[in-house]
Structure 1
Amino acid sequence: MGEHDARYYAQGIRATSADRIIEQVGITKVTFYRHFRSKSDLVVAYLEKQAAAERDWMKNARSNGDPIESLRALATGIGSASCSPGFRGCPFINAAAEFSDPDDPVRATVDTHRSWTLDQFAAVAAEAEVSDVESTAKQLMILRDGAMVNGYLGQPETVADSLGAAFTSIVANG
């Protein structure tokens, strides 16, 4: 994570001004605004970088043909991330909370990434041959979101095990 990425994440997007980033990076305002016409453009670039990293991780964590192993690997990774020092929640959920206008480009970026993630959960649910893939995928997504909050707010040592058990329970009963 770059320094301005870390600042966004640690202090919040709205609390981090473009002037602070310009000063930190050591560029002129003209150069900054040549690349990013607005703060939303900069936030979109930050989120796209985060999304690419998360997509790579999630693709590598999945075990095609073995949905239970995929869910365990995803739970372990989510548990590790949400319990790591400095973790402050999902950057996409955090950005959505700060940019409430559904027409803002930031929200479009958040929605695109969350839709992709939901599709990945649907693929795992389909591999598990559950009766209602869409509903199961949504339940897995809710569990993912909850685990990220749980790791940040309490009991971080049990997040991966609890999430893995919840994931497999949802699929087993689906």
Structure 2
Amino acid sequence: MGVTTKRPSARERLLDAADRLFYAEGVHTVGIDRLIEEAGVAKGSLFYNFSGKDDLVAAYLAGRDERRRARIARHTEGLTDPVEKLLAIFDALHEAVTSPGWNGCAFANASAEAAPDSVEAVAQRTYRVWFSDLLLELATEAGYADPAGVAGRLRLIYDGAVASSRIDAHPAAALVAKDLARLVLEAAPRT
């Protein structure tokens, strides 16, 4: 008796195609017909599973958000020192920027040409609030006198590494950023 593998659902195939195409080429460049063809589904399947392209874009970005959070969690898991956790976030970034197919920040890419109230902009804000809160929480836990200032500087360094890794094709940018973050953390006064 042979082993049978279950074919992914139409929703899964649409999300997989959206993840590949949107990330590689852009959410505003890739049309519905191309997604349907790439996913190998009927047009009705798209509208059965999603209310339209915006809903599919939102699901694509939610998946990217979930994977990014999981990657950071993997890198901080088992660490007890909040300073080490802050530095581990840059290790998670290094893993991302050195992975095959790295094409920059999915949220920034998607929202670059989007309206301020678009699903792309909402997804980017959702991620940014979570990320900012994480940095602030860890900086507070570490006992910095100005945790918001420390978190803001780390976020700026992180964003610079994301941009440099993509624009300058500089995969070591995340490691340089980690060194800079370490300097910020060592210099910042603690209570």
TM-score by length of 1: 0.88
User: Residues 1-174 of structure 1: matches in 2 within 5 Å?
Assistant: 2-62=16-76, 64-99=79-114, 101-154=115-168, 156=170, 158-174=172-188
Contact persistence 2:104–2:162 (CA under 8 A): yes
- The separation in 2 between residues aligned to 1:97 and 1:141, in whole angstroms, is 19
Pairwise CA RMSD of aligned residues?
1.9
Contact persistence 1:118–1:137 (CA under 8 A): yes
Gaps of 5+ in 2: 1-14
Letter in 2 for 1:96: S
User: Which has the bigger relative contact order, CA under 8 A and spacing at least 6?
Assistant: 1
Contact persistence 1:79–1:156 (CA under 8 A): no
Runs of at least 4 residues off by over 3 Å: none
Counterpart of 2:45 in 1: which secondary structure? helix
2:6 alignment partner in structure 1: none
Letter in 1 for 2:86: L
Aligned residues: 173
User: Offset at 1:67?
Assistant: 2.5
Contact persistence 1:51–1:113 (CA under 8 A): yes
Q: Which has the higher helix share?
A: 1
Going from structure 1 to structure 2, the CA distance change for 1:102 and 1:84 (only over 3 Å counts) comes to same
User: Offset at 1:25?
Assistant: 1.1
Percent identity of equivalent pairs: 29
Letter in 2 for 1:97: A
Contact persistence 1:125–1:136 (CA under 8 A): yes
